[in-house]
Amino acid sequence: MRVSVVIPTHNEAQSIGRVLADLPADIVTEVLVVDSNSTDGTPEIASKMGARVLHEPRRGYGQACLTGLASASTPDVVVFLDGDYSDRPAELPLLLAPIIDGRADITLGSRLGKQSIRGALPWHAAFGNRLAAFLIRLLYGLKISDLGPFRAGRADVLRRLDLQETTYGWAVEIILKGTLGGFRIIELPVSYYPRIGKSKISGTLRGTLGAAWFILSLIVRYYFRNRRTGMPRPA
């Protein structure tokens, strides 16, 4: 099974080396670091460690993920992982197992499922994620607890979903379209630690509130938009 790992980065020089070093070399086929205008040497570090570096000048977390997905070399599974070392790359087999076993099409790593380090996920970020997860359970019937960035999916499924969100709404778009399309989504607990460096979103209350409002409105909007038309059913 070919496994491509996509890592969006922006000034992650302090952490990207540790992220890449911890990826299981016996499982991962290729690593794509999609860099958005870093000025601290992140792309150079990633390249020296064997990653394929893609320069994405357009802003947006989702844009970086979409670029990585489109550029992956014939993968069977695509894994998405942040470059700040808050999630542990060594736990990648946990997310792959249900897909390899044929039990899931998409897997999500929940930062709330294991005992995490105190303060790793700020209270306002944890609250916003729980609220979004509750709304998804209520409207879509999918029982999840978090919208964490550590996730994996069958490449053919991800492409069928026609993902388009270029901002942090991309993280929830996979879940919503996957559920509406009838694909199997499984959440698994993963470890979570304080990120290295400052978060671009959850590091501030204003950033978190802005992201939360966007995501919550997206959940409601997708529900009403797709309630009648739906998504293509799994093959």
CATH number of the domain encompassing residue 209? 3.90.550.10
> How many CA atoms lie less than 13 Å away from 16 in the CB half-sphere?
28
What is the pLDDT at residue 207?
63
**218 lies in some domain:** yes
User: Which of 54, 108, 101, 59 has the alpha carbon at shortest distance from 80?
Assistant: 108
**187 lies in some domain:** yes
Chain center to CA of 50: 22
Q: In whole angstroms, how far apart are CA 46 and each of 50, 58, 90? A: 7, 19, 17
pLDDT tens over the chain, length 235 residues: 999 999 999 999 999 999 999 999 999 999 999 999 999 999 999 999 999 999 999 989 999 999 999 999 999 999 999 999 999 999 999 999 999 999 999 999 998 866 566 667 777 778 888 889 999 999 999 999 999 899 999 999 999 999 999 988 888 999 999 999 999 999 999 999 887 866 555 455 666 677 777 788 889 888 887 765 555 445 4
Beta bridge partners of 188: 109
Helix, strand, coil distribution of the chain in percent, nearest 5: 40, 15, 45
**235 lies in some domain:** no
**212 lies in some domain:** yes
Rg from Cα positions in the chain: 17
Domain extent, residue 144, equals 3-226
- State how many domains the chain has: 1
**107 lies in some domain:** yes
What is the pLDDT at residue 235?
47
> Which pTM does this prediction carry?
0.89
Three-class secondary structure of residue 226 per DSSP:
helix
